Structure 1
Amino acid sequence: MNAFKSLAAAFTAGLLLASPAQAETPASLAELLKSVKANSIVESQESKDREAAFRADRNQQAALLKQAKAELKAETERGDQLKASFDNNDKQLTELTETLRQRSGTLGEMFGVVRQYAGEFKGLFAASQNAVQFPERDTLLTKLAESKELPSTQELEAFWHTILQQVVVSGDTTTTAATVVYGEGKEAVRDVTLVGEFNAIADGKYVTYVPQTGKFEELSRQPNNNIMRNVPGFEQAGNSYEPLFIDPSRGVILSLLVQSPTVQERVDQGGIVGYVILGMGALGAVIALFCFLRLAIIGSKMRKQAKSEQVLKGNPLGEIMAAYLGHNSDNLEDLEAKLDEVILRNAPRIERFVGSIKLFASVAPLLGLLGTVMGMIGTFQAITLFGTGDPKLMAGGISEALVTTMLGLVVAIPLLFFYTLVHSKSRRLVQTLEEQSAGFIARYQEKLHADNADK
């Protein structure tokens, strides 16, 4: 009996745990049995519902599994097809690549040459003054020179046309609008006449092209008038032909030419000694001209006197004739003394200032040597202070040394010619006086012999 009660209590406890919604505890075994039966019916119905739901879910899972297997099979077949297509395409790509390699052959080398020459021509065309006419060709050359892809046929033809275009304009004269930079830094758009690849002219002056800025710059100093005189006519020539000096080195010789010093700058390099030499040369030339004119006047008067039987005043030959006619004694020695006295009196006047020309001609080279010594002293001082690393430091002293020597020779050589000319002319006049004096003495001596013979 106790065992049965214990079992009943345990069953009741289990029932209470299984049905927590049961709030009341059965009062007797009959109620307990009734409650158990009721719960059994509920649990049986719940089990059936769960079984039915499980079966439905199992059927759904089977359908999904079947669908997944079908999709897997389809994807597997599609993967096999794609793999076969990939293998086929890879085989065709390999064959086409080999065919391309075989067919391109020398074309690959040709494209490499195109890239190389495109880079070279880009630099040449950029430095050309005709670049202002065709700014668009730089884009094409840059693309051909830097591209890693093979150029197209159109690009190759454009490259060919660009080269032919450059060849044509290199031998042609054209006028185009371009920016010109003047010495003050001002800029203006002017019509620039391009003479091929050689020179450019704007507003009647030579200009040079600067590739870095793409503009033209006026020369710091224009060439001499012998070169510039043809520029205006050439600019206005139109379709006719006009002469023009061009620089075949594309402006290099022209830039060096305008940098060469002028005559005034050369003289300035000579310093004070150079100006002294030139002053002496000018003074010597004036004296030589004065002496030449004075001797020409004296010679003209003496020629007139030689043609006249009467005494004309104002010339040495007239004084000799007057001394001859005024001699009344029979003493020949007195006549000779008078005539010698006239010659000795007029000779210094005829040769006046002639010796100073020779003096200037002799002193000028000496002053040149003095300037040379002074210039070399300055050069050696520069070497002592700064060394021989910079030749420009020594250029001033050397220039002064050489310029003074040059100026001394330039002054001395013409003065020597002037001295020779004037001295020879004065000697001829003195010789003429001596000849005429000897003639008068001989005539007077004949006269004396004739008088003695009559007696």
Structure 2
Amino acid sequence: MRKTVLMAALIAFGFSQPSIAADSLTSKAQTAQQQEKAHNSEREAKFKQEEQTLAARKAELESRKAQLEASIESLSNAFSDNERTLAEQQKKLHLETGSLGELFGVVRQSAKELQVELEQSVANTEQPKQIKAIDDIVAAKKLPSIQELTGLWNAYQAQIASSATYADVKIPFVNGAGEIATINATRLGNFALLAEHGPVDWDGKLASDFPRLPKEVPTSADTAGIVTGQAPAVIDPSRGDIYKQLADKPTLSERFAHGGIVGKIIAGLFAIGMIIALYRAVVLTTTEQKIKKQLKSPEAPTDNPLGRVLGVYNSEKQLHVEALELRLLESIMDEQQHLERGLSMLKLLAALAPMLGLLGTVTGMIETFQVITQFGNAEPRVMAGGISMALVTTVLGLITAMPLLLAHNLLSSKAEAIRNVLERQSVGLVAQQAEAQTMESKQAYAA
């Protein structure tokens, strides 16, 4: 009974439990649905607000685009109109100027040439007004006015007039120490400035001394005599270009200095060789004169090669012919050694000088190639030192070798001629002794 009641209670409770759960889930679902609906409404409101903002922005940009397109079209039309107007104006200008354009070109070209002339002219300090007028014409970008053309004409007139006059002027002068001072000078035409110490170089703003001048040059004190023709003088009409060329032509001492240490060695060898040659020439000439005197009096031997050979003959003539001949030959060989003394040194120096010249040439070329390696070969002045050394040493070697070789040949010929005289006299003495001994032998045989 109790079991039945318990089972019935359990069954009743099982059927009532799902109903309670279903009601709870339905309530939660409705609540979530309402929250989602509110959230979606809020999002839709934001989207609509953003859509309205973007639409307004789009409308604003489209308005600006329309304005820009209208501005572009307006500017394009204005540009086209300006292009047409410019073309028309240029055509009108070309038609109206006509030959005046060519005149403007000729005037500017003439003004530029005169401007360069005035910049280099020694009379430019006296023509500031003309220089200003010429500068204005050169800088102008339009047709010259009648005043400018008149200024060009006046500048030409002033330049022509100054070329026929001379005047005392004060000019800025820079000395060798770089100090600038004002000195008195005399202007000769448009091409020369004479200071108290001679002509000076004028670059348009400053005067300076020329690197080198001829020995006799005019000074400012000679101006009056030069103009009147009473004191003829050498004047450079090229505004100093000829004077400047003197600096590019080195003197003999400067050329010798280009040879460097090798050139000095060659010069020393040349001096030694010439001293030897002159000394031996004096000795051989004196010996030759003594031998000529000795030939006139062979019976009285003196202090000379032939006299010493005769002395050997007189002291040894009692010997047999063959022994006498050997003794005379020995004496001649001794004399030959004295006659040829120093000639081998001359020959050595004559052969050594060209070799030293070649050494200087190689050294100079090495220096030139080193300069090329460091600075390139764009500037010939940079390489001039090595090339000068290379060429000068070669010339010095040849100049040294030729006179030394000639002196050696002449002195050798003179020594050989003296030796031939000694040999002829020796042979004659031997033949005379042989005849005497033959006669004695015949007499002894006959007795």
Normalised to the residue count of structure 2, the TM-score between the two structures is: 0.63
Written as runs of structure 1 = structure 2, the 5 A alignment for 1:28-427 is 113-114=106-107, 116-132=109-125, 134-142=127-135, 148-151=144-147, 158-159=154-155, 161-168=157-164, 176-192=169-185, 194=187, 199-211=192-204, 213=205, 215-219=206-210, 221-223=211-213, 227-231=214-218, 235=222, 237-238=225-226, 239=228, 240-244=230-234, 246=236, 249-329=238-318, 331-384=320-373, 388=377, 394-427=383-416
Structure 1 residues 322 and 229, CA gap change in structure 2 (3 angstroms): farther
Which secondary structure does the structure 2 equivalent of 1:168 belong to? coil
Counterpart position of 2:4: none
Unpaired stretches in structure 2, ≥5 consecutive residues: 1-94
Aligned residues: 344
Q: Mark the CA change 1:125 to 1:442 in structure 2 (over 3 Å): closer, same or farther.
A: farther
Distance 1:174 1:334 in 2: 98
User: What is the distance in 1 between the residues matched to 2:294 and 2:357?
Assistant: 46
Change (3 A) 1:385 1:163: closer
CA deviation profile, 1:352-377 (whole Å, cap 9, x unmatched): 01110110110111122223333334
- Rounded to whole Å, the distance in 2 between the matches of 1:431 and 1:198 is 72
Residue by residue over 1:117-165, the C-alpha shift from the partner in whole angstroms, topping out at 9 and shown as x without a partner, is 2342132122122334555542454466558421389757634532432
**Quick one: distance in 1 between partners of 2:264 and 2:149?**
72
Residues 246-265 of structure 1 show CA distances to partners (whole Å, capped at 9, x for unaligned) of 3x653335334314555455
Amino acid at match of 2:158: T
1:347 offset after TM fit, Å? 0.6
Q: Is the 8 A contact 1:358 1:419 kept in 2?
A: yes
Distance in 2, matches of 1:202 and 1:412, equals: 48
Higher mean displacement: 285-294 or 328-337: 328-337
Deviations 1:151-191 (A, max 9, x none): 3897576345324325535xxx7765433221112334444
Given the superposition, is the C-alpha separation of residues 165 and 288 from structure 1 closer, same or farther in structure 2, using an over 3 Å criterion?
same
Counterpart residue type for residue 208 of structure 2 = E
Cα distance 1:290–1:168, how it changes in 2: closer, same or farther (>3 A)? same
Alpha-carbon deviations, 1:393-445, whole Å to 9, x = none? Answer: 65544443333323322322222222223222222222332333344445556
Does the 8 A contact of 1:360 with 1:412 survive in 2? Answer: yes
Distance (whole Å) between structure 2 residues aligned to residue 320 and residue 137 of structure 1: 97
Identity %: 34
| Contact 1:234/1:244 (8 A) holds in 2 | no
CA-to-aligned-CA distance 1:298-326 (integer Å, 9 cap, x gap): 22322332333553532101112323444
Q: In 1, distance between residues paired with 2:238 and 2:149? A: 36
Kept in 2, the 8 Å contact 1:206–1:222? The answer is no
Alignment check: 8 A CA contact 2:266 2:397 kept: yes
TM-score (normalised: structure 1): 0.62
Residue type matched to 2:131 in 1? Answer: D
| AA at the equivalent of 1:168 | A
- Contact kept, 8 Å, 1:111 with 1:150, in 2: the verdict is no
What is the distance in 1 between the residues matched to 2:181 and 2:418? 69
Partner of 1:3: none
Unaligned runs of 5+ in 1: 1-100
SS class of match (1:228): coil
Aligned-partner Cα distance in 2 for 1:407–1:343: 39
Alpha-carbon separation, structure 2, partners of 1:368 and 1:110: 64
